[in-house]
Amino acid sequence: MLRGIPGIISPDLMKYMMEMGHSDVLVLADANFPAISNAKRYLKADGVEIPDLLDAILTYFPLDGYVKKPVKLMRNLPGEPLPEIWESYKSIIEKRDREQAFKDFGLSDRLPFYEETRNAYLVVQTVTTARYANISLQKGVI
C-alpha cells in the first residue's frame, strides 16, 4: 500500500495512468457499454460508480489543455433530457482540474463514441447504470 492513493484506484489503474502520455485517452464506461469489444486495454471496476472513480482519478490525472474539449461524453438522443449525471461530472471536474483545461464537454454520437473508444489507451468499466454515463478523458501534461 501507498499513502494518499484511494483504494478505489486499483494498482493496475494507477499503473496504466502512469504509463499514459500526453493526449492518450482514458474512458470510464458504464455497466451497459460494450467495453471489452471496444477496448485495447480493459479493466473492470467491480462495485465502483463513475462519479467516485472520476473524482479519485482527477486527483492525479491532468486534463489536456492543448485541445478545446479534453472531456467527452456520449451524446443523448434528440428530445431526451440532459442526463443528470453530467452535472455531477461537471462539478467534479471543476473541483479537480488544477490546470483549468476543462471549459465544456465534447459530445459524440453513440457509434462515433465507440470508434473513439477503440483508439483509447484504456477503458475502465464500472457498475454505473445511469444512461449516457460514459466519459472520456484526454491526458495532458504537468
Catalytic residue among 30, 55, 64, 97: 64
Distance CA 134, CA 73 (A): 6
Residue labelled with grid coordinates 470508434: 115
In the annotation, is 22 catalytic? Answer: yes
Distance from chain centroid for Cα 16: 13
In the annotation, is 60 catalytic? Answer: no
β partners of residue 28: 124, 135
2 exposure class (CB count in 10 Å sphere: 0-12, 13-18, 19+): exposed
Which pLDDT does position 72 carry in this prediction?
98
Reading across the β-sheet that carries 71-74, which strands appear in turn? 42-44, 122-125, 25-29, 135-138, 71-74, 106-108
Find out whether 82 and 107 touch, Cβ atoms under 8 Å: no
Q: What is the pLDDT of residues 79-113, one digit of tens each?
A: 999 999 999 999 999 999 988 999 999 999 999 99
Which pLDDT does position 2 carry in this prediction?
82
Q: Spell out the residues 6+ positions from residue 91 whose beta carbon is closer than 8 angstroms to its own.
A: none
pTM above 0.85, yes or no: yes
Catalytic residue among 12, 22, 66, 109: 22
Which pLDDT does position 96 carry in this prediction?
96
**DSSP H stretches of helix in the chain:** 11-19, 50-57, 85-96, 110-118
Which segments of the chain have a pLDDT < 50? none
Distance CA 42, CA 36 (A): 6
In the annotation, is 114 catalytic? Answer: yes
**Grid coordinates given for 93:** 471536474
Please compute, for residue 107, the number of CA atoms within 13 A of its CA located in the half-sphere on the CB side: 10
